[in-house]
Every structure is written in C-alpha cells, then in structure tokens.
C-alpha cells in the first residue's frame, strides 16, 4: 500500500515519555506526579520472565481502576514468545480498561508486517522502536506501515549488535545517522516527528540538556525517559522559548493581516517555510 493511501493516526502531543516497569505498577501515579506528559508501562525489557504473569495482572488491575490515567503499554517483541500473551491480555480487557490504553509501543521492530499484525489485533496507535541492524535497514518500509504513529530507537541495543562503542565518536555517528533516517521517513509518511531514545545517566543534567537541545533542533517531538529526574529538563527545554513563541506569533499575525508570503520581521526575512513553521509552533504551544 502506498503512503498516499494510508490513513495515519492523529499525531502525538507528548514531550516526555516515562517508562514504568509493570512489576512496579505503583510507580505510575508517581510518574505522572513528577510531571511526565505520558507514561509507558513496560512489559518487555524491565520485566524478567519470572514475573511476566504478575506484571500482566498488574496492568489489568491498573487499567481497570477507577483512578487510572491513560497510558502507553510496551509489549514484547515479535521475536519473543511473550508477545502473543501480551496481545491477548490487551484484547481481553473490558472497554473501560482498554480505553485507558493510548497505544502500544513495539520493541525491536524489523519488518512492517509486525506493525500490521498488532494493528489488526488491537487497533491502537503504535510507536515502533528501531533497535537492530535489520530494523535500521528497513526504516523506509516500517515508516510506511499503516497504523504507525511515530518512530523511536534503541541506541544501546543497536551499538551492541553493530559492535560500536556507544560513548565514542563512532557511536555518535551511528546515532545521528539513525536520527536522520527517522526524521526523513517520518516526514515522508506524515508521522509524528521521531521520539529520542533514552539517556541512561539519570543524574547527568548537563549531558541530558545537551541531548535535549540536539534532538529538539533536529525536529524530534519528544524523548523516552527512564527516570523521573529527567522529566522536568525534557519538558522545559523541548518547549520553545518565550522569545521564539513571540516571534512566531508576530509572523502568523502579520501573514493573516497582509496575506504576504515574503516580508521582513525584526531584521529577518520571512518566507513560506518560516511562516509554516511559525504556524506549527503556535498551533502546538498556543492553541
């Protein structure tokens, strides 16, 4: 199916996506209390095989609770013998509980058909994580899959499989190549702009600040977080400054008043791409 014939789900508005292991379900409320835009309840990497069943029970109990807030759920990968059980669990939820599932995070995606299978089973928005060399090679096809909402990636997983040292210049070359591919194919397929991978050192504010500034300037829409300490920095830095918003509003207002597609504003030439970018900023941050 061509990209022009695929109806894409509504875009995502979250900036910070905080993982909470399903075995520690009591942390979901704490995650929201720390300011996370949204929470991903994790049934995959953060949950060992010995506690998979208890973790699934925890998910059901949380989603069925009167005080439940809508969350994402990361299920196990297609290559895992646990994915079918995760899907069956979500399919079996009563309507009030399944309505508390915003969407599904799919790990280690390597083929578009993996997205298609989950789409048919659950009919929920999906975030695909690219975490293997094969997944990297198939980004164009994966990004075009029907039902996909956004792409992200697992940098450490990819480095391990490629034999690349993550904390090296070579590692950064690999990371930026992935980011470019995700950004390009997200735009081509009208997806929500990509979501940055996790930053493991959760007490390194300076490093996190540098990371957020990097993906924000690249046009990414948000970041996966592994610790509540990271949320405030991600939320604050991902938002445009007041000066940027004020300039965008002046551009939008001037364009609305005059209809001109090219004009000078505050010593800067403004044309159609700048106007469109200003409109997007105002729509997202000053609706």
Contact (Cβ atoms closer than 8 angstroms) between residue 22 and residue 59:
yes
263-265 and 268-270: which strand pairing?
A: antiparallel
Q: Is the pLDDT of residue 286 over 80?
A: no
- Going by C-alpha positions, the residue among 244, 202, 243, 245 that lies closest to residue 223 is 202
pLDDT computed for residue 25 by the predictor: 96
- 196-223: b (≥16 Cβ within 10 Å) or e: bbbbeeeeeeeebeebbeebbeeebbbb
Q: Say what the pTM is.
A: 0.87
Q: Is the pLDDT of residue 237 over 70?
A: yes
Distances (CA, A) of 158 to 22, 96, 97, 105, 111: 24, 37, 34, 17, 16
Q: Kindly compute the dihedral angle of the four CA atoms of residues 90, 9, 193, 37, in this order, to the nearest 10 degrees.
A: -50
Lowest-confidence segment of 222-226, 240-244, 250-254, 270-274 by average pLDDT = 240-244
Average pLDDT value for residue range 117-129: 96
Q: At the topology level of CATH, where does 3-238 sit?
A: TIM Barrel (3.20.20)
pLDDT computed for residue 4 by the predictor: 37
Instruction: Find all residues with CB under 8 Å of 282, minimum gap 6, and list them.
Output: 245, 248, 249, 252
- Going by C-alpha positions, the residue among 71, 79, 84, 140 that lies closest to residue 107 is 79
Residue 8: pLDDT band by 50, 70, 90 thresholds? very low
Q: Where are the alpha helices (DSSP H) in 123-230?
A: 133-137, 139-143, 155-162, 169-188, 205-217
pLDDT computed for residue 12 by the predictor: 84
Q: Is the pLDDT of residue 51 over 60?
A: yes
Average pLDDT value for residue range 195-206: 95
pLDDT computed for residue 24 by the predictor: 96
Residue ranges covered by each domain of the chain: 3-238, 242-285
Task: Write the pLDDT tens digit of every residue in 167-187.
Answer: 999 999 999 999 999 999 999
pLDDT computed for residue 7 by the predictor: 40
């Amino acid at each position: 199916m061509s990209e022009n014939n695929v109806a894409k789900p509504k875009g995502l508005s979250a900036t910070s996506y905080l993982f909470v292991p399903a075995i520690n379900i009591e942390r979901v409320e704490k995650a929201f209390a720390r300011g996370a835009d949204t929470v991903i309840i994790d049934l995959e990497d953060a949950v060992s095989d010995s506690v998979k069943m208890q973790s699934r029970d925890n998910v059901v109990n949380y989603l069925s609770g009167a005080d439940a807030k809508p969350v994402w759920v990361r299920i196990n990968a297609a290559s895992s013998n646990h994915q079918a059980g995760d899907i069956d669990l979500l399919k079996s939820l009563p309507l009030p509980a399944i309505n508390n599932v915003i969407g599904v995070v799919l790990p280690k995606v390597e083929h578009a058909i993996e997205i298609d299978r989950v789409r048919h089973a659950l009919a929920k928005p999906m975030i695909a994580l690219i975490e293997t060399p094969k997944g990297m090679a198939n980004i164009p096809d994966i990004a075009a899959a029907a039902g996909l909402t956004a792409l992200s990636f697992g940098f450490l997983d990819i480095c391990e499989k490629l034999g690349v040292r993550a904390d090296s210049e070579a590692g950064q070359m690999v990371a930026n190549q992935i980011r470019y591919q995700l950004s390009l194919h997200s735009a081509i397929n009208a997806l929500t702009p990509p979501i940055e991978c996790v930053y493991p050192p959760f007490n390194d504010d300076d490093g996190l600040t540098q990371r957020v500034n990097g993906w924000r300037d690249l046009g990414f829409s948000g970041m996966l977080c592994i610790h509540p300490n990271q949320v405030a920095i991600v939320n604050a830095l991902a938002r445009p400054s007041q000066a940027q918003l004020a300039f965008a509003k002046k551009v939008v207002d001037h364009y609305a008043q005059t209809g001109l597609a090219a004009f000078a504003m505050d010593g800067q030439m403004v044309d159609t791409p700048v106007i469109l970018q200003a409109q997007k900023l105002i729509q997202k941050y000053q609706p």
